[in-house]
Amino acid sequence: MADKPVYEEASIDGQPPKLASIPASDTTVWADASPLLQAACAGLRDGELIHGDNFNLFAAMSALEIMDPKMDSGIVCTYYSIDEAIENGAAPIPISLDSTIDAAWHKGHSLAQTVFSCIYLLRLDRTAPHALLHSYCRIIRATCKAVVSVVSDARTHEEEDLFTMTYGLPLNGDGDDKCLSILNAVEETISRQLRACKATSSKRRLPEDLEPLQSKPNLEEGFCKALLCRLRFRKHFFHVLSCMKRPQGRGLESARKHIASCLTELESILKSADFLRSCFDESCEGDIDDKTTASGFEPIGFDAMLNSRLSAPTPPRAIKILSWKKAVEYFVKLLHDLDVICSYSLDPHLESLLRFVVQFQKSQPDLVARSYLQGVTHPNMERFTHQAVFLHQEDILNHVNIVEQLLLVQDGKLYGRDPFFAVINKAAALPEATKNHDIQKNESFLQLGMVIANFLNSNGVGNSSLPNKLVMNLLKILCTNAAWQRRKLGKFLQDWRVIYVQLELAFRNEYGEVSSSSNDENTCMKIFQHILLWVEEQTYWIAFRFLILGFELELYSTGEYCMVYWYLYAVLIKLSEKTHLMMAVSHDTAKRKGKKKKDSPKDLARESRIPPAVLFLQCYICLAEGLTMMLAALRNEIPVFHSPSPFNTEHEKFVQHFELLQRACIPDHVSYPSYKESTTHARLSTLAMYNYFKDAQRIAKEVKSSFSNDPERLAELRKLEQVAEHNSVAQNVICRLGALDPSLKVSFEFSHHPFFATVVVKRS
Amino acid sequence: MEAKPEEKAEFEEAEIEYVSYGGEHHLPLIMNLVDQELSEPYSIFTYRYFVYLWPQLSFLAFHKGKCVGTVVCKMGEHRNTIRGYIAMLVVIKPYRGRGIATELVTRSIRMMMESGCEECEYEFHPSNSFQLSLFIYADAHVFVHIVNRFFTILKLVVTLEAEVTNKGALALYGRLGFIRAKRLFHYYLNGVDAFRLKLLFPPPRQVL
């Protein structure tokens, strides 16, 4: 626009931005403001400021004080421009390279202050005459670009937006797509050199066309090896990233091979450190573990402060460059995390997918790994939801289609591995329908389709159904960092509650409270009930996760454990109830689906048994209940555990901690008064009457055999058993001595399990 | 971090004098303390924003004329909630562990409660003739508005952020009834996570 001041973009070479001439227009005119400013200055005394009403906290916080070292990013540079740095010999060419600075970037520091503190990367063209340096820089830049794109696409970095900020850095270079071929050529040359070294080691001479990498012939072989493993690592790492990006998980197999190669090269890199250190006669000062290079020498060509002005107008962030050793460790962990993602079977079963994601998060993968996790799982979700019912508006309107697709899969089999049901779980697995091949012509089913279609339309759902969206969002949230995840899950519960209420309403309107006698209508009702049940189960699962993430994030203080375990108990009861019902429905379906056999007494016995997955939850329930009652008894009888605060009571803390759950009525009829009611009467004497921990211990022991093929749950059960055993003993001690012995100290540790505390009793 | 015993100052609690922000001469004292002890940088504008708009919520602690601690706060109303915010709290190392910070924060919170309640009374008290007249003569729109205001119970919440590693501050606020409502990933410029701490007050008595 003509009347808007136009500034040339501040270039990174340190030149001040130039003001382009702005012509006066019909509505604007140039005027000299100096007299006005002088008059204003004359009217103010030293230290006075003019305050405008629109000058708010944000504006105040955004203001920077020039020359304040905490705020002014510009004053602490060694060099003020890249050119100045180069002229001063900060980045000589040629140079031996050795950098793992991108690990610091992955760890959450800005690109400008980490990878691009490398002067060579900022002026990549300068390195062109030196093939080795050039190829290395190119692949680094291409790798950065690939990682930025995956993280941006996954959008799992809401709180880590620093990661993808490129501040106009030269990330997009022409010809970086050829970086692999350049690298391969260099690798080939060095391999030849290495072979030549070995062949001519007795003669100590190289063939004419090969130029030695450095000046000491006896070190040549070691240098070649050290360089080769670094180049190969970079090459394979780049391959890993590209393979993992291939659609529908097609590249995962090959990605795993490259991951294995990367790990091998990293080992060689580690081994090369001794050689590199021994090359230099003078020993370097300080602990080698803190150094950022393998040789222990200061890296050449890096200046972390060079780009600090790029991040203005934010104050300078303190950055910690990982030591060389830590950086290698970081890559090993990242590669292992990526390997876990690649080895996932892409099981379209939602439950196992969710469990996989949660399990994966336990190893605390960083942003890069989490983005790839989402990159792999999310399109996969799309794949099976794409075929699902609700994708197209026209399908929604065409209810015949809906019913056909809702109940049938492509190959004509019913409820086999139907993609839709993989997402909406076993919700619609109905026995009657399996037998009825004419189902799509059935009037009641058409009606059901209409109800769902109306429901979706009334929700303004255009391209994708609400349940699908909810599931996709859930998956996305589960891939984010724990802090963000918890906040999102809390708000997300509301959405699940709303869809439940709306579905229920739609269902009631259509079928009324009481089922009619028609068989088909019964079937429709069952489908609906199963969907409702499934939505409820998911809701409680999310609530459970929301609560336990609070432990991981250390959001609860000891004084609040009682109410947290009580709430956890209430949610778990509901979750196990819904899970049990869902399993009963699936079991029922599976049984009817199979050839009708005479029910043997053995079958009946098995049916009456509680499924292991539910027993697993019951073990949780016992632990939560045991801890609640013990904490309540301690609070009620020992003054130390009851410390009132001056401004509010336990009630306000309860309201704050569970506000989001309460707002969504999760679970129904659970409130502060009901918490009070169930815990006020707990006493140390009554505690002795029932030991919930013993129950937990017994269940954990019993149910272990059912999970012999599931190492993850087996490990969890072992932990639960340990906590239960410890707490059972602790409870006995507290009951015996608690009220009598004032020197008894009770504390809570998470030494055995991440969210079930181990009770520790000591005498002070 | 806890100060080493030899760095501890010798003093009686009664020797500490607490004063409300008294004007421009207090500003350099506050700025010095905050600049020394807190990791985040604040511009002069930020200090002025707080102390000019809410001078009654900022306090300084003096020991024999030397400023040893300060608290800087703000408050405002948003969505039927009166929100207090503790922006900065500092006690210099040799004076820590003796309840000075608790006293500073408590004074600010009490001021917030008082001004919060005044606001409630002004808004809701039917004896306020201005509001009464509105009740009687107002057109439908204003009437609905007033009735809504009348029946909305204002909540009072005080919030702040603290570094997850600052055990001393976390314990202090925990004793005062704050809960850790959220964890904020890499919140500070030094890369440390923060807890958002919140103190919810019991609902004020409805004045009818």
Q: Which of B46, B193, B199 sits opposite A60 (nearest CB)?
A: B46
Q: Of all residues in chain B, what percent are helix, strand and coil, respectively (each to 5)?
A: 45, 25, 30
Q: Please choose, from the candidates B159, B139, B156, B155, the residue with its C-alpha nearest in 3D space to the C-alpha of residue B147.
A: B139
CB contact under 8 A, B45 and A649: no
Of the residues B73, B186, B193, the best mutation for testing chain A's interface (the one with the most A CB atoms within 10 Å of its CB) is: B186
Q: Is A185 on the interface with B (CB under 8 A)?
A: no
Average pLDDT over residues B118-144: 45
Q: Please choose, from the candidates A269, A256, A260, the residue with its C-alpha nearest in 3D space to the C-alpha of residue A228.
A: A269
Highest mean pLDDT (candidates A208-222, A286-300, A341-355, B17-31): B17-31
In chain B, which residue's Cα lies nearest the Cα of A657?
A: B181
CB contact under 8 A, A553 and B183: yes
Model pLDDT for residues A720-734, shown as the tens digit of each residue: 999 999 999 999 988
Contacts of residue B42, Cβ cutoff 8 Å, sequence gap at least 6: A61, B31, B34, B35, B88
Residues of A in contact with B175 (CB under 8 A): 643, 645
Model pLDDT for residues A200-213, shown as the tens digit of each residue: 655 545 555 556 56
Q: Please choose, from the candidates A439, A425, A437, A428, the residue with its C-alpha nearest in 3D space to the C-alpha of residue A589.
A: A428
Residues of B in contact with A486 (CB under 8 A): 182-183
> Is residue A513's pLDDT more than 90?
no
pLDDT band at A548 (very low <50, low <70, confident <90, very high): very high
Residues of A in contact with B189 (CB under 8 A): 315-318
As for the ipTM of the complex, it is 0.83
CB contact under 8 A, B183 and A483: yes
d(CA A220, CA A193): 9
Q: What is the pLDDT of residue A276?
A: 76
The token pair that represents A493 in the structure block: 């519960």
CB contact under 8 A, A61 and B41: no
Q: Which of B109, B185, B195 sits opposite A484 (nearest CB)?
A: B185
d(CA A95, CA A132): 9
Q: Which of B48, B176, B181 sits opposite A645 (nearest CB)?
A: B176
Q: What is the pLDDT of residue A607?
A: 53
Q: How close A649 comes to chain B (CA, Å)?
A: 8
Structural contact between residues A764 and A732, judged by C-beta atoms closer than 8 angstroms:
no
Q: Which of residues 638-657 of A touch B (CB under 8 A)?
A: 643, 645-649, 651-653, 655-657
Q: What CATH topology corresponds to B5-122+155-200? A: Aminopeptidase (3.40.630)
Of residues A694 and A419, which shows the higher confidence score? Answer: A694
Q: Which of residues 446-505 of A touch B (CB under 8 A)?
A: 481-484, 486-487
Of the residues B27, B34, B39, B45, the best mutation for testing chain A's interface (the one with the most A CB atoms within 10 Å of its CB) is: B45
Of the residues A656, A657, A658, A672, the best mutation for testing chain B's interface (the one with the most B CB atoms within 10 Å of its CB) is: A656
Q: How close A552 comes to chain B (CA, Å)?
A: 10
Strand order through the sheet with B66-78: B16-20, B59-63, B66-78, B81-91, B155-163, B194-200, B179-184
For residue A69, what is the DSSP state?
T
In chain A, which residue's Cα lies nearest the Cα of B165?
A: A554
- Helix ranges restricted to H, A343-387: 350-362, 367-386
> Is residue B63's pLDDT more than 90?
yes
Model pLDDT for residues A3-61, shown as the tens digit of each residue: 433 333 333 444 444 445 677 888 888 888 899 888 888 888 766 777 777 777 777 77
Q: Is A60 on the interface with B (CB under 8 A)?
A: yes
Q: Where are the domains of chain B?
A: 5-122+155-200
Q: How close B106 comes to chain A (CA, Å)?
A: 9
Residues of B in contact with A114 (CB under 8 A): none
Q: Which of A108, A487, A647 sits opposite B191 (nearest CB)?
A: A108
Q: What is the pLDDT of residue A409?
A: 24
d(CA A482, CA A540): 18
CB contact under 8 A, A560 and B179: yes
